[in-house]
Amino acid sequence: MRISGSIRRRLFIQLALVAAVLSLAFFLVVRGVAERAAEGTQDDILSASATAIADSLRSEDGRVTLDLPYSALSMLGSINEDRVFYRVVSDGRTLTGYADLPQPNVPPRISTPSVETLTYRGDEIRAVSVTRPVGTGVNAAQVVVTVAQTRQGLAAISRQITATATGIGVGFFLLATALSLWAAGSALAPITRITGSVTRRGPTDLRPVQANAPDELVPLINALNSFMGRLRASLSRTEDFIAEAAHRVRTPLATVRAQAEITHRKLNKPEHKQAIREMIRAIDESSRSAGQMLDHAMVTFRADSLAQDALDLRALMEETCDRLAPTADLKDITIRRDLGPDPVAFTGDGILLQAALQNILDNAIKYSPDDSDITARLTLNGSITLSITDQGRGFGDTNLSDLTTRYMRGANVGDIVGSGLGLTIADEVAKAHGGRLEISPNTKGEGACVSLIFPRA
């Protein structure tokens, strides 16, 4: 499986990006609106001031006079420490104020002041002009009153607004980011939950997943369920096949062997007897290797879903020795049992343990000379040890750790036939039960000692 990115990270990054864009937009809008509002306030005061001055213009004997009202300029003083300028122009001639004060480019019309930001004496100023006719009739003069103010106060307000908007924007971004993190996590929570419920299952649990799933995960879960359904069907077909094959191979071979033995007894001519003996030997070999192959398939299959039977290992040993006693008898081999008096309780898969022991004992018989002894021993100390010791040819200089490999046979086998699966089966069974297989030379003289060692419960 190749891991390409993370949904959570992608979701988080996308949400955080959206949050960043929104924060920026928020910042720009707040700052824009607030600055416009501050600017508007200054413009209104400037207009009011200019209008107040314009209102105080009088015409005396055809001359325009001005009695500058105190309030007109004092209302501007409230904004910071900004300087205020004014200029009254009558028909192009400056009546009073700063003669060089620039006027907004757009000429003001009566009742509509014109407003503009200009530069005056190196400072940025906001200038408002209003116009008013003073006097009557043809003598009326068009008087333009301009009031201007520097914009330091506004700049200060603007800085303050910028700082506040930045603070709010950053706060909003951080909050939104934290929420995105949470949202990304909670959007993926169902996946985590379903993954958990699938991984918590035992290895044999192939039931369909029942967990509550959001809409988007339904196809995935359906696919998973249908996959598990097919797997379940295939596993049960395999199990059936193994059982069926074992039955169909072993039963006819047993029949043929029985018939061959009867024939052997009835025959008199030594060469015929010899031929039948060969036949029986071949039958034994093929039923042994067929049995081992099926056992191996069964071990591989069952090891994943180990049965948990309550067993008595002592009884299991007895049973295995009983079962192989006839084979041992053929070679006049005695199987000595050193099993102790008490049952040995163990939880495990009886069929697999039986197969493992049987293969070990079978080897001992196979690789032992006629008229020898085999000892089946059960020892309890820190662990449970089931060992089979023989007086046979031993392992020679075979590398012992290779013998548990599938189809691997030792260098010592000579003309003894075999499939190389016996110790593989024993090893796999031991491992499936949390134990191990120990292969060693017989410490008391010739031969081999093969043991299954399990931890004590």
Ligand X SMILES: Nc1ncnc2c1ncn2[C@@H]1O[C@H](COP(=O)(O)OP(=O)(O)O)[C@@H](O)[C@H]1O
Give residues in contact with Mg ion (CB under 5 A): 363, 418, 422
Name which of ligand X, Mg ion, none residue 283 binds, using a CB cut-off of 5 to 8 Å depending on partner kind: none
What residue 364 binds from ligand X, Mg ion, none (CB within 5 to 8 A, per partner kind)?
ligand X
- 410 contributes a contact to ligand X by CB under 6 A: yes
Give the residue nearest to Mg ion (CB): 422
Which 3 state secondary structure label does DSSP give 51? helix
Instruction: Name the binder of 264 from ligand X, Mg ion, none, CB < 5-8 A by kind.
Output: none
Alpha-carbon span 289 to 334, nearest angstrom: 24
Rounded (5°) CA angle 258-259-260: 90
Burial state string for 202-235 with b = 16 or more CB within 10 A and e = fewer than 16 = eeeebeebeeebeeebeeebeeeeeebeeeeeee
Nearer to ligand X, 90 or 387 (CB): 387
Partner touching 82 among ligand X, Mg ion, none, CB below 5 to 8 Å by kind: none
Using CB under 6 A as the binding rule, whether residue 413 contacts ligand X is answered as: yes
Picked from Mg ion, ligand X, none, the partner binding residue 451 (CB below 5 to 8 A depending on kind) is: none
| Closest separation in Å from C-beta 290 to ligand X | 13
Shortest reach from residue 418's CB to Mg ion, in Å: 5
Question: What's 340's DSSP letter?
Answer: -
Shortest Å distance, C-beta 243 to ligand X: 23
First to last CA, the chain: 38
Choose the stretch contacting ligand X; rule: CB under 6 A; options: 97-105, 107-115, 226-234, 361-369: 361-369
**Cβ 410 to ligand X, closest distance in Å?**
2
Q: Single out the segment in contact with ligand X by CB under 6 A; choices: 12-20, 95-103, 332-340, 409-417.
A: 409-417
Under rule CB under 6 A, residue 355 binds ligand X: no
Token pair listed for 34 = 């607030």
Asked if 412 touches ligand X (CB under 6 A), the answer is yes
Question: What distances in angstroms separate CA 255 from CA 141, 240, 262, 268, 285, one per listed residue?
Answer: 140, 23, 11, 22, 15
153 binds ligand X (CB under 6 A): no
* Residue 377 engages ligand X in binding (rule: CB under 6 A): no
**418 and 291 Cβ atoms separated by less than 8 Å:** no
**DSSP structure string for 280-325:** HHHHHHHHHHHHHHHHHHHHHHHHTT---EEEEHHHHHHHHHHHHH
CB of 363 to Mg ion, least distance (A): 4
Q: At its nearest, how many Å lie between Mg ion and the CB of residue 362? A: 6
Nearer residue to ligand X within complex by CB, 74 or 399? 399
> To the nearest whole angstrom, how small is the minimum distance from the Cβ of residue 368 to ligand X?
7
Q: Which of 53, 294, 403, 452 binds ligand X (CB under 6 A)?
A: 403
- Is the Cβ of residue 131 or residue 372 nearer to ligand X in the bound state? 372
Site size toward ligand X (CB under 6 A) is 24
d(CA 421, CA 363): 11
Q: Three-state SS across 394-442? A: CCCCCCHHHCCCCCCCCCCCCCCCCCCCHHHHHHHHHHHCCCEEEEEEC
Residue 291 binds to ligand X (criterion: CB under 6 A): no
Exposure string of 373-410, with b = 16+ CB inside 10 Å and e = fewer, is ebbbbbeeeeebbbbbbbbbbbbeebebeebbeeeebb
The 3-state DSSP class for residue 111 equals coil
Residues 415-434 that bind ligand X (CB under 6 A): 418-424
The item of ligand X, Mg ion, none sharing an interface with residue 135, based on CB under 5 to 8 Å by kind, is none
What, of ligand X, Mg ion, none, does residue 367 touch, CB below 5 to 8 Å by kind?
Answer: ligand X
CA distance 432 to 347: 12
**Residue 85 one-letter amino acid:** F
Q: Count CB neighbours of 105 within 10 A.
A: 9
| Residues 295-320 as b or e (16 or more Cβ within 10 Å = b) | bbbbbeebbeebeeeebebbebbeeb
Stretch of residues binding ligand X (CB under 6 A), selected from 49-57, 232-240, 268-276, 412-420? 412-420
Instruction: Give contact residues for ligand X (rule: CB under 6 A).
Output: 359, 363-364, 367, 390, 392-395, 398, 403, 409-410, 412-413, 418-424, 448, 450
